[in-house]
């Protein structure tokens, strides 16, 4: 699928993948690139885990993954899935039986790591459970846990070894006539991950789950993920993404969306365009943007807002945004609506006013989308 813009230099041609379902979320084909995260609560703490899934879903997560390290977690998973607003992916390592239990518990997808799930017979049992319970599977290859025979063959984790690991497991699934799977080939090294993903993207039409594993803390991990995932997405590779940060899962979701938004691949909520500010600013840009980000978190309709310190760039940026504010002199600035200068507003009242204008615009966009949908039906 291509995202054709009026400006061809913005086009991204998505790799053609087949589509699978993770619960009610389509992954691959022309489905929107879904955003995932993972809980970091104890799975056995049902209330805390459900609360974290709900917070992630509220922030926009389409799917949430939960670790299932022991039998008690499998039991907890059964309760958790009934209370979660999004499909749950069960993360399985070492114990193939957890995969079977998770499928029985209602997981929408099982993530299995070829490097540590055991021999082919065990994988076959997991496949049977997935089939019996309508689960999809993610083959989650990780550079840090490749199978021994591949490490011996290649000497170290390298793109070829990761692709080979992925293809060996694809073969097992396909030999068992199981096709509802996606694949990831993650590494914490962006070069290794990017090369492995390019290799697997050429070798299969399975949907691809993108991630740079163990990327780091909020700032460093965001940058690493933006470079790694950003490059791959720009090449058209990737059907679902997870940003791995040593941070709150909600932050992972926000960063995931920001990466997709930057590439025009998916939109959600208010995209704020703001200047870094300097001595020319007519109001405190940094504080204003921080406040607006918080005050506008509830708006899910895709739209744009420019908050610019002065007239050097303000009118130009406002031309391309739904709502804009540009600092001026004497404690007030200009409000722009649909690219046109509309009215002046004092700096003191500006935040409440902008929030109201954005909410109004969001309501208009939603109403016109509803009307278009009614007309099409
Ligand atoms: S738009 Fe104005 S205030 Fe903002 S950085 Fe540029 S010159 Fe400075």
For residue 313, the ligand 1 atom closest to its alpha carbon is 1
Query: What per-residue string of b and e applies to 358-369 under the rule 16 or more CB within 10 Å gives b?
Result: beebbeeeeeee
* Residue-level pLDDT, tens digit, the chain, 377 residues: 445 667 888 899 999 999 999 999 999 999 999 999 999 999 999 999 999 999 999 999 999 999 999 999 999 999 999 999 999 999 998 899 999 999 999 999 999 987 788 788 898 999 999 999 999 999 999 999 899 999 999 999 999 999 999 999 999 999 999 999 999 999 999 999 999 999 999 999 999 999 998 878 999 999 999 999 999 999 999 999 999 999 999 999 999 999 999 999 998 899 999 999 999 999 999 999 999 999 999 999 999 999 999 999 999 999 999 999 999 988 999 999 999 999 999 999 999 999 999 999 999 999 988 888 888 77
| Site to substitute for ligand 1 among 272, 274, 281, most atoms within 8 A of C-beta | 281
Q: How far apart are CA 104 and CA 96, in angstroms?
A: 13
**Nearest residue to 239 (alpha-carbon basis) of 292, 182, 309, 279:** 182
Cβ 315 under 6 angstroms from ligand 1: no
Residues paired with residue 140 on neighbouring β-strands, in sequence order:
184
What pLDDT does 340 receive?
Answer: 95
Is 277 close to ligand 1, i.e. is its CB under 6 Å away? yes
Ligand 1 pocket mutation pick from 272, 273, 275 by most atoms within 8 angstroms of CB: 275
Contact 230, 261 (CB under 8 A): no
Q: Which residue has a Cα nearest atom 2 of ligand 1? A: 310
Digit-coded pLDDT (tens) for 26-76: 999 999 999 999 999 999 999 999 999 999 999 999 999 999 999 999 999
Checking DSSP bridges between strand 240-242 and strand 270-274, what pairing results, if any? Answer: unpaired
Q: What are 207-241's pLDDT values in tens digits? A: 999 999 887 899 999 999 999 999 999 999 999 99
Atom of ligand 1 nearest to the CA of 310: 2
| Closest atom of ligand 1 to CA, residue 279 | 8
* Whole-angstrom distance, CA of residue 237 vs CA of residue 109: 21
* Distance (Å, whole) CA 53 – CA 47: 10
Taking Cα atoms as reference points, which of 228, 289, 234 lies closest to residue 255?
228
Residue 263, Cβ density class (10 Å: 0-12 exposed, 13-18 middle, ≥19 buried): middle
Torsion over CA: 105, 111, 113, 114 (sign): positive
CA 273 and chain centroid, separation: 21
Q: What is the pLDDT of residue 215?
A: 76
- Measured from the CB, is residue 316 less than 6 Å from ligand 1? no
Q: Are 261 and 268 in contact (CB under 8 A)?
A: yes
CA of 329 to the centre of ligand 1 (A): 13
With H, G, I as helix, E, B as strand and everything else as coil, classify residue 13: strand
Contact 291, 351 (CB under 8 A): yes
The pLDDT tens digits of the residues spanning 323-346 come to 999 999 889 999 999 999 999 999
């Amino acid at each position: 699928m291509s995202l054709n813009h009026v400006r061809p230099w913005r086009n991204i041609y998505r790799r053609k993948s087949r589509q699978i379902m993770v619960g009610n979320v389509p992954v691959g084909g022309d489905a929107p690139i879904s955003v995932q995260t993972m809980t970091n609560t104890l799975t056995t703490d049902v209330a805390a885990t459900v609360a974290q899934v709900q917070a992630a879903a509220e922030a926009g997560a389409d799917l949430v993954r939960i670790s299932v390290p022991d039998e008690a977690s499998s039991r907890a998973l059964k309760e958790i899935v009934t209370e979660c607003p999004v499909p749950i992916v069960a993360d399985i390592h070492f114990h193939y039986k957890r995969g079977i239990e998770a499928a029985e518990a209602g997981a929408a997808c099982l993530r299995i790591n070829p490097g540590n799930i055991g021999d082919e017979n065990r994988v076959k049992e997991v496949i049977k459970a997935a089939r019996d319970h309508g689960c999809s599977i993610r083959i989650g290859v990780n550079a840090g846990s490749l199978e021994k025979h591949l490490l011996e063959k290649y000497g170290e984790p390298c793109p070829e070894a990761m692709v080979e690991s992925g293809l060996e497991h694809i073969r097992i699934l396909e030999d068992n006539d199981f096709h509802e799977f996606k694949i990831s080939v993650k590494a914490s090294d962006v070069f290794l991950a990017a090369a492995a993903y390019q290799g697997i993207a050429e070798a299969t039409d399975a949907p691809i789950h993108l991630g740079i594993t163990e990327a780091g803390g909020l700032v460093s991990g965001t940058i690493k993920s933006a470079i790694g995932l950003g490059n791959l997405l720009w090449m058209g590779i990737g059907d679902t993404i997870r940003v791995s940060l040593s941070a709150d899962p909600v932050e992972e979701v926000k960063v995931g969306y920001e990466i997709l938004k930057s590439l025009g691949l998916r939109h959600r909520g208010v995209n704020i365009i703001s200047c870094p500010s300097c001595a020319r600013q007519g109001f405190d840009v940094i504080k204003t943007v921080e406040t607006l980000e918080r005050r506008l978190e509830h708006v899910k309709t895709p739209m744009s807002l420019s908050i610019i310190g002065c007239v050097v760039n303000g009118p130009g940026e406002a031309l391309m945004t739904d709502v804009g504010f540009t600092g001026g002199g004497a404690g007030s600035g200009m409000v722009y609506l649909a690219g046109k200068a509309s009215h002046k507003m004092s700096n003191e009242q500006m935040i409440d006013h902008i929030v109201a204008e954005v909410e109004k615009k969001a309501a208009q966009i939603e109403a016109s989308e509803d009307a278009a949908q009614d007309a099409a039906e």
